[in-house]
Structure 1
Amino acid sequence: MSGRLKKKLYNAELARLQAELVEMQAWVQRNGARIVVIFEGRDAAGKGSTITRVAQYLNPRVTRIVALPAPTEREKSQWYFQRYVPHLPAAGEIVLMDRSWYNRAGVEHVMGYCTPDEYHRFLHQAPLFERMLVEDGILLLKYWFSVSDVEQEKRFRSRAEDPMRRWKLSPNDVMSITKWEDYSRAKDAMVLHTDIPEARWHEVDNEDKRRGRINMIHHLLGAIPWTPVPHEHIDIPERPASGGYERPPREELGLGLVPDHAAELS
């Protein structure tokens, strides 16, 4: 990959792509399409920040971000894929999955949170599950975000020193440094078993986050068979003449005004 993408070029292209995402979302609504986009990859590989850029201008009633917490004891007793099914899209919806059922092939397997039988059962069932989704009409896109060990450690240290982003650094994240090769082997096995014609894996080189975001969004827009839809013209009516309403004093309504903190800044 070339050097870091210049900020001016990045901002201009990101704005153009985000405008296309809005147009694509309109097509999804108009045609009742169902889309699932899976974001997987190394810890600190930039999945979350890319999802933020994808969803930034989209309608949250149409495009949902799904980031499930650790399973409850009840969920652990269910069929593994069961907890994900309620989050699948209905007609006219897009679901962006910040990690997904592939937790079992990655962190659960490497950290010993599942048994070997559960892990191998997942590798067998995941392609079957995904084929059923695609057969039913869901468009399933899977992205793996890659980053080097040097860049990952750099991002971890940056998070640890930043009080605004320290919450992103978990004990499991830190352990991933010591288990780099284990995660590499797990990723290789996962791709080998689950890269199927109906739902291929697409790798995003995210060493430079700007380039990675642009490349991923551009690919997403090209992978969905959308076309522009006509926009309904909306007339903004003239405001009618006043009917004599007078706003009562704020104190009579019991409505407190938020203090003007901004005035103190100047």
Structure 2
Amino acid sequence: MTNNYFLRIFAILTLGFFISCDNTTDDPPNQNKNTSSSSSSSSGSSGITGPRILEKVNIGNTTVEEYSSTSGVLYQAVIRDNSNSDAITATLTYNNNKVAKIKYIDNKSTHVIDHTYLITYTNGKITSMSMDNPVFNVNNHSDFTIFYDSNGQLYRIVEKKKLGGSSVYTHYIEDKFTFASTNVAKVEHTTMLMDNNTPDPTTAITLAYVYDSYDSKINPYTTLPKEYLMVTSTLMAQVNFYMLSSNNVGNITIQNPLGPAIPVPKTYLYDAQNYPVSDQSQSVKYLYKAL
């Protein structure tokens, strides 16, 4: 039962990746399509012409992502399963106008997702985080270190885990970023075991996510705090790191050393202000809140 629940939670957590895979018949997909004035409203733009923040992402009649904000400041996010009532709520706490704490909790009586992140900044950038997850009366702890290149661009996120109440680190995770201008071009996600606090490279496994075919439009997730997107991607699914990009990714390729590469195309319809309002099949819709 526990294993099944973990698998189900993982399915929820990867929603940000799967919801944007549409059924367009364009080959190759044509991303540069604007909605007409009559379809724009039905696709989620609601006639907003000025500043905005992402409020909802819908699949059909189901809201799978919901963002609650006041005066443009995000204070809560809810991610829902498209097929049942499973959900995860993230609550953000601020200090000096920076996200200082994020607590994620699922809606089950015996919480598997009950993660609290504390965030530390240096010169305005996240440089470290800690995470605690008391699951089944045993605490799991992680320490994160975030690295930037000489241009101040995100370069690496390193996580060291202490699982099962261990006093020493047991697992090592590294996400290495390659950017093309302000868009994420590639993330190499490496995991390995640790022996006496030392990573064991003989146990390493690396997955790579390649992001390309970006448009020149505005990524809806740029309206949300980057700190939230960064933390959420480390918890949920590293494939979602494309949300840190300025523009909208047109294709994601998952490179698994144990199997063939998996391409996942993504397409969009836009409003007159260059914000996506849906995928081209209009099964996925982005709704915004005016500021």
Bin for the TM-score computed over the shorter chain: under 0.3
Per residue, is there more helix in 1 or in 2?
1
State the structure with more CA Rg: 1
What is the TM-score of this pair, normalised by structure 2? 0.25
Q: Provide the TM-score with structure 1 as the length reference.
A: 0.27
Structure with larger RCO (C-alpha < 8 A, sep 6+): 1
Higher strand share: 2
